[in-house]
């Protein structure tokens, strides 16, 4: 697909809904045909669709291919169902969405973070039709496998997406319409998977996207309530133990959320490494700690009474690797003589650290606001976000201006193609880097 200058007018879902169904279908087919051929279409495709089509071209995906994939074996499918937090909210998803999907001649699909279908429910007739396009349990629906589709594109973009008829890259999906939203774990913002409503294109309605997004948020709220209850249980266990502990100590759950603390200022959360176990370990925000297991969490006894997590970190940290190569799984790894530590990043924190990696001499709050928001006045937001970032990375991040410490080596692991860099991001600095101007 060539870089062709398109019309200023773009499609939107409400415009399509206002059209006669046959007219809308013809228009979408023509837009897709002209765009993929490198010609100027009568109206530009929606930005999210245009960006996805370009990704498919870079991948070399054949628009005439089918959507068949090798299904997960039954034991692997059951293992993924058993280990995902999404299983805890399936009753809510079924109650809130499956019935509506059934009544509207559609189906509800729930996938994991890789786009593998774990569950599906809904209209029996549509379920049988879905088998024909391999939209069944155990199938893969990432963009790499099935092209532009609501599940795969929502995974790639990290936000709710609706894809209708010929907006699908693979032509075998042109008789379908789908709307999908990501579901995140409220404990660490990790992407858990996608909830989707799909059905024949004749059932298209722009409000489906809002419905799916609301149900995804409801599922996240239920998980958040479950987490708060687990923190309360941990607090009841940890409180009498901390009363007998001398010095500084904190009880945290498996994700680092604080349940109780003694001898130190309370914090909401302490970043824990992925491979965390009992023994002695160095944590960037605390220093060297003795780690003991608790029912539902850990007891951290701080051995460095100076509390200089940042000071010890300055000696311990010598290298930072910012990994932005994997879709929606961005991370920062800090390593040095005292060991290594890795933390997954939110989209906003990935943007901020990427900008600081580009500008080793540092950026003021106003400059970061311009880089990330395109608005130099949003310094309050920048300072709040940087405060959260430095809570766990104070050992390698300085401020006034914000920058990586001079003695630390910084490496950025970028995607193979610049256009795949933080695809969700609208930050001016990131958009410029995608175009090769960084």
pTM for this model (two decimals): 0.78
Is residue 3 pLDDT above 60, yes or no?
no
Point out the least confidently predicted range of 63-72, 198-207, 333-342, 417-426.
Answer: 333-342
Average pLDDT over residues 60-85: 94
- Better-scored residue on pLDDT, 437 or 110: 110
For 332-386, the pLDDT digits (tens) are: 988 877 667 788 888 899 999 999 999 999 999 999 999 999 999 999 999 999 9
Q: Could you tell me where the DSSP H helices lie in 37-161?
A: 47-59, 74-83, 90-93, 99-103, 124-131, 143-146, 150-157
- Better-scored residue on pLDDT, 412 or 305: 412
Our separate counts of H helices and E strands in the chain read 15, 16
The whole-number pLDDT of residue 285 equals 77
> In the numeric block, which tokens belong to residue 431?
């958009």
Is residue 408 pLDDT above 80, yes or no?
yes
Q: How far apart are CA 156 and CA 166, in angstroms?
A: 19
Is residue 6 pLDDT above 50, yes or no?
no
Answer whether 303's CB lies under 8 Å from 312's CB.
no
The secondary structure of 178-243, three-state, reads EEEEEEECCCCCCEEEEEEEEEEHHHCCCHHHHHHHHHHHHHHHHHHHHHHHHHHHHHHHHHHHHC
Average pLDDT over residues 155-174: 95
Q: How far apart are CA 364 and CA 402, in angstroms?
A: 6
């Amino acid at each position: 697909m060539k870089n062709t200058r398109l019309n200023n007018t773009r499609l939107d879902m409400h415009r399509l809904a206002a059209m006669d169904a046959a007219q809308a279908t013809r228009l979408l087919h023509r837009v897709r045909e002209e765009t993929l051929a490198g010609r100027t279409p009568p109206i530009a495709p929606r930005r999210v669709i245009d960006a996805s089509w370009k990704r498919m071209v870079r991948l070399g995906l054949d628009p005439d291919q089918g959507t068949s994939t090798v299904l997960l074996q039954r034991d692997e499918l059951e293992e993924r169902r058993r280990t995902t937090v999404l299983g805890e909210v399936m009753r809510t998803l079924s109650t809130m969405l499956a019935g509506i999907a059934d009544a509207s001649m559609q189906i509800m699909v729930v996938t994991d973070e890789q786009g593998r279908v774990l569950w599906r429910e809904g209209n029996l007739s549509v379920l049988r039709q879905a088998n024909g396009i391999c939209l069944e349990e155990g199938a893969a629906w990432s963009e790499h496998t099935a092209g532009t589709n609501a599940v795969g594109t929502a995974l790639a973009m990290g936000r709710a997406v609706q894809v209708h008829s010929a907006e699908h890259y693979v032509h075998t999906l042109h008789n379908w319409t789908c709307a999908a939203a990501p579901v995140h774990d409220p404990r660490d913002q990790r992407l858990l998977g996608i909830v989707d409503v799909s059905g024949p294109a004749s059932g298209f309605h722009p409000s489906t996207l809002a419905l799916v997004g609301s149900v995804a948020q409801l599922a996240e709220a239920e998980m958040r309530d479950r987490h708060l209850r687990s923190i309360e249980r941990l607090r009841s266990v940890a409180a009498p133990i901390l009363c007998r502990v001398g010095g500084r100590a904190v009880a945290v759950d498996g994700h680092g959320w604080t349940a109780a603390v003694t001898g130190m200022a309370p914090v909401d959360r302490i970043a824990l490494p992925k491979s965390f176990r009992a023994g002695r370990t160095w944590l960037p925000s605390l220093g060297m700690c003795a780690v003991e297991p608790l029912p539902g969490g850990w007891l951290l006894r701080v051995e460095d009474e100076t509390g200089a997590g940042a000071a010890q970190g300055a000696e311990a940290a010598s290298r930072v690797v910012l990994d932005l190569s994997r879709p929606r799984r961005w991370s920062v790894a800090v390593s040095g003589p005292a060991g290594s530590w890795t933390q997954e990043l939110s989209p906003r924190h990935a943007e901020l650290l990427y900008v600081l990696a580009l500008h080793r001499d540092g950026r003021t709050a106003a400059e970061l606001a311009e880089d990330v928001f395109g608005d130099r006045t949003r310094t309050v937001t920048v300072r709040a976000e940087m405060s959260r970032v430095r809570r766990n990375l104070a050992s390698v991040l300085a401020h006034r201006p914000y920058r990586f410490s001079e003695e630390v080596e910084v490496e950025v692991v970028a995607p193979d193609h610049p256009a795949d860099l933080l695809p969700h991001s609208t930050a001016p600095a990131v958009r410029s880097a995608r175009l090769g101007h960084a």
